[in-house]
Amino acid sequence: MVLKAEIHCHLEGAASPALVESQARKYNVDVSNIISNGVFVWNDFTQFLKCYDGAADLFRSADDYALLSETYLNELADDDCIYSELFISTDHARAIGISEQDYIDGIAEGMRRAKEKTGIEARMIATGLRHGGPESVLRAAKYVAGNPHPLITGFGMGGDERMHHPKDLAPGFDVARDAGLGITTHAGELVGPQSVRDSLDYIKPSRIGHGVRAIEDPDLVKRLADEQIVLECCPGSNISLKVYDEFEDHPFMALRAAGISVTLNSDDPPHFHTSLKREYEIGANEFGLSDVELTQITRTAIKAAFVDEETRKQLLAKLD
Ligand SMILES: Nc1ncnc2[nH]cnc12
Ligand SMILES: [Zn+2]
C-alpha cells in the first residue's frame, strides 16, 4: 500500500457529478448543460471553466461547503491519502452571495469531520482568479491576509493562464507572502516556458501548478532544478485538456530525471475522469514508477506542503 498526499486539487472541481446533481435537486436547478449521463461535459479549457463554475454555483451555504470538503476528503482517505491541500476561492463565496467567513468556516468544518473520521490532515490554499485580473487577485489576497485562519496556509492562482502578465498579478502575491502564506501559482499548463519564467521572476513561488511545459526550454528546466521549485504535476488533467495527446508524450519522467521535484495530483478529478488514486496508478503503469518511488513522490509533496513543521514531521514519520 502506497501512502499518498495531494497538494493540487480545486475544491469546487472535486465535486462529483452525483453530488452536483443532488445539489441541483436541492436548489431546483437544471444542470443538463454541464452534466450528461452522469458525466461533466465540456470540450476545451474555456468550456471546462464554465462547467466548473456551473458546478460551483450549486454550493450555496456553509453546510453545502462542509458537505463538499468532507465528502472529498473521506474519499481521499479511503484511497490511503494522508494529507490534502485544497484550492479554495473566496470569489466563489462572492458569486453565490455568502460571506467569505461562512465559506471558509464551512470548508473547515468539513475538514474537521473528515479528520475526526479518518485522520486525514488538510489545509486550504486561497486562490485568486487570473482571468479576474490583478484587482481581483489582490482583493482575494487582502481578504486572507486580513482574516488569518489556521487552516489557510497558502495563496495561489488558477484560471486562464493566457490572460494577464505575472508582473501585474504580483502585488496580490506580495500581500499573501507578507502575511506568511506559502506561494504557488498555475503556470506552464496552457502557455509555454515564458509563462513559467515570468511567474518565477515576479510571483516568486516555491511551487508551480503544472509547470510541465518548462520542458520546452532546457535552461528553464535547469533553473527549476537549481532553485528546487516543486512542480504540482497533474498528468490525467493534462491528457484530458489535450496539453499532451498521450501519456508517453508527457514530460513527467523527463522533468524528474532532470532533478526537478515532481508530485502527482488530481487537479479537478471528476472533470478529468481521474482521482488521486488514478494519478498514482498512472505513475506506476504509464511512467513505470515502483512503490518505493511513488512513496518518494508522497514525501516530496509533504516536504513542499504549506504546513507547520510539527505536522510535517508527523506526516513524514508515517512514510517511514
Ligand atoms: N487545470 C486548471 N488550470 C487552471 N485553472 C484551473 N482552475 C481549475 N482547474 C484549473
Ligand atoms: Zn489546477
**Interface predicted TM-score (ipTM) of this complex, two decimals:** 0.96
The ligand whose atoms approach the alpha carbon of 159 most closely is: 1
Ligand 1 centre distance from Cα of residue 33 (Å)? 20
Query: If DSSP states are collapsed to H, E and C, what string results for 138-190?
Result: HHHHHHHHHCCCCCEEEEEEECCCCCCCHHHHHHHHHHHHHCCCEEEEEECCC
Could you tell me which residues come within 8 angstroms of residue 33 by beta carbon, excluding any fewer than 6 positions away?
54
At residue 23, the pLDDT reads 98
Q: For 229, which DSSP code?
A: P
Is 183:176 a contact under the CB 8 Å cutoff? yes
Q: How confident is the model at residue 157 (pLDDT cuts 50, 70, 90)?
A: very high
Residues belonging to the active site: 189
At residue 237, the pLDDT reads 98
At residue 289, the pLDDT reads 98
280-295 in b/e form (b: 16+ CB < 10 A) is: bbbbeebbebeeeebb
Q: Is 91 known to sit in a ligand binding site?
A: no
The ligand whose atoms approach the alpha carbon of 243 most closely is: 1
Q: Please name which of 84, 76, 73 lies closest in space to residue 306, comparing C-alpha atoms.
A: 84
Q: Is 186 known to sit in a ligand binding site?
A: yes
What DSSP string runs through 45-68?
A: HHHHHHHHHHHHTT--SHHHHHHH
At residue 213, the pLDDT reads 98
How much is the average pLDDT of 113-124?
98
Q: Is 267 known to sit in a ligand binding site?
A: yes
CA pair distance 211, 56, nearest whole angstrom: 25
Q: How confident is the model at residue 159 (pLDDT cuts 50, 70, 90)?
A: very high
Q: For 34, which DSSP code?
A: T
Is 187:196 a contact under the CB 8 Å cutoff? yes
Q: For 37, which DSSP code?
A: T
Mean pLDDT computed over every residue of the chain: 98
Q: Please name which of 81, 184, 88 lies closest in space to residue 144, comparing C-alpha atoms.
A: 88
User: Which grid cell sits at 272?
Assistant: 478529468
Region of 252 (left: φ > 0; alpha: ψ -120 to 50; beta: rest) is: alpha
Ligand 1 binding pocket, CB closer than 6 Å: 10, 13, 52, 158-159, 186, 189, 237, 267-268
Q: Could you identify the atom of ligand 1 that is nearest to the CA of residue 52?
A: 8
How much is the average pLDDT of 12-41?
98
Q: Where are the alpha helices (DSSP H) in the chain?
A: 17-27, 45-56, 62-78, 90-96, 100-118, 134-146, 166-178, 193-198, 218-226, 235-240, 252-257, 276-285, 291-304, 309-319
Ligand 2 centre distance from Cα of residue 187 (Å)? 9
Single-letter code of the amino acid located at 92? H
Question: Do the strands 230-233 and 261-264 form a parallel or antiparallel pair, or are they unpaired?
Answer: parallel
* pLDDT, tens digit, 9 for 90 and up, residues 213-261: 999 999 999 999 999 999 999 999 999 999 999 999 999 999 999 999 9
How much is the average pLDDT of 287-297?
98
Q: Could you identify the atom of ligand 1 that is nearest to the CA of residue 130?
A: 5
* pLDDT, tens digit, 9 for 90 and up, residues 68-102: 999 999 999 999 999 999 999 999 999 999 999 99
Ligand 1 centre distance from Cα of residue 237 (Å)? 9
CB atoms within 10 A of CB 151: 15
Residue 155: phi and psi, rounded to 5, are -135, 135
